[in-house]
Structure 1
Amino acid sequence: MTIDRRLVHAGFTLTRDYPVPVERVWAAFAEEGQKVAWFHNGESYESGEWAFDFRVGGRDVAVGTFHDGPISRYEATYTDIVEHVRIVTTYDMWLDGVHMSTSVATLEFEPIAEGTRFTHVEHGVFFDQFWADGVGREEGSRGLLELLGSHLV
């Protein structure tokens, strides 16, 4: 089998308003117990390796299997953290050991009258495979923000 060698660039912005204070949304990312509860857990997700090091230069790792499918591996490095304002990460994803993508993601936390406006902006480069178009990444990120919303209320 020949692999079509190519790069696909994709980006997206997702915004959610959560009816809780910024400090509560922030804690869902900054405190390991809270992050594992929504990010590394789920009815259709079997958890594997996990590492959490929330600081500039720190690394997170989350490995698991979705829907009895391939093994997903997420490795992120925090490049900028401003408490209650923003988190910037670079991260790589693998499926069954094949390097799928590298992304830069910014997470912004803004107080609003109703609680918190959370904005996730991501730019990624996807490698080689037919699934490397970024559409699935945006869909997966939407799902994570739904899990976050359920965790917060």
Structure 2
Amino acid sequence: MTTERRLAHAGFTLTRDYPVPPARIWNAFAMEKEKLAWFGAGDAFEPGEWAFDFRVGGHDIDEGRFHDGPVTRYVATYTDIVEHVRIVTTYDMWLDEVHMSTSVASLEFEAIDNGTRFTHTEHGVFFDQFWADGPNREEGTRGNLEALSNHLL
């Protein structure tokens, strides 16, 4: 492990239109059973600690190991929730117990003619050896949105 101290910032916005009403997508985030059905890395992931507390000030934890690989840990705090409109979180990520990043993410739900426009906007700060990890975070979020799509449709 490097002892070099670096800091990098990365941000992205992903927008997807889903042919389901806002309440359906909202429930995929707001109801524990729904979120468990799609959030994470699927079969490539051995689940570990999980906590779900969907309320302003509440915390989510999702920890697990990629088969024969590293342990990831996601710890989020809900900072703003407006039902069927938006969810804002701050969250930290660890890889094998090394703090890799802190992010703020907003999730927006907008009714459109054929369903819902979902927008995920995120800004992350990446620490030390993870300073160049911004593109991987965006790619991981794209994977989560694909898992959400598969769950909804």
Shorter-chain TM range is: over 0.9
Instruction: Give the CA deviation at 1:4.
Output: 1.5
Structure 2 contact 25–152 (Cα < 8 Å) conserved = yes
Structure 1 contact 41–47 (Cα < 8 Å) conserved = no
Structure 2 contact 5–128 (Cα < 8 Å) conserved = yes
Other-structure match for 1:14: 14
Other-structure match for 1:36: 36
Other-structure match for 1:88: 88
C-alpha RMSD of matched pairs (Å)? 1.2
- The residue type equivalent to 1:43 in the other structure is D
**Cα distance change of structure 1 residues 67 and 138 upon mapping to structure 2, 3 Å threshold:** farther
Other-structure match for 1:61: 61
Matches within 5 A, 1:4-153: 4-40=4-40, 42-130=42-130, 132-153=132-153
User: Secondary structure of 1:129's partner?
Assistant: helix
- The residue type equivalent to 1:109 in the other structure is F
- The residue type equivalent to 2:50 in the other structure is W
User: Secondary structure of 2:36's partner?
Assistant: helix
Structure 1 contact 107–121 (Cα < 8 Å) conserved = yes
TM-score, normalised with respect to structure 1: 0.96
Instruction: Give the CA deviation at 1:67.
Output: 4.2
Instruction: Give the CA deviation at 1:114.
Output: 1.2
Could you tell me how far apart the structure 2 residues matched to 1:46 and 1:138 are?
A: 22
Percent of matched pairs sharing the same residue: 75
- Unpaired runs of at least 5, structure 2: none
Between 1:86-95 and 1:121-130, the stretch displaced more is 121-130
Instruction: Give the CA deviation at 1:40.
Output: 3.7
Paired residues in the alignment total 153
Could you tell me how far apart the structure 2 residues matched to 1:44 and 1:121 are?
A: 26
Q: Hey, which bits of structure 1, 4+ residues long, moved more than 2 A?
A: 130-133
TM-score, normalised with respect to structure 2: 0.96
Could you tell me how far apart the structure 1 residues matched to 2:124 and 2:134 are?
A: 7
- Unpaired runs of at least 5, structure 1: none
- The residue type equivalent to 1:108 in the other structure is E
**Cα distance change of structure 1 residues 41 and 134 upon mapping to structure 2, 3 Å threshold:** closer
Structure 1 contact 45–67 (Cα < 8 Å) conserved = yes
Instruction: Give the CA deviation at 1:66.
Output: 2.2
User: Secondary structure of 1:43's partner?
Assistant: helix
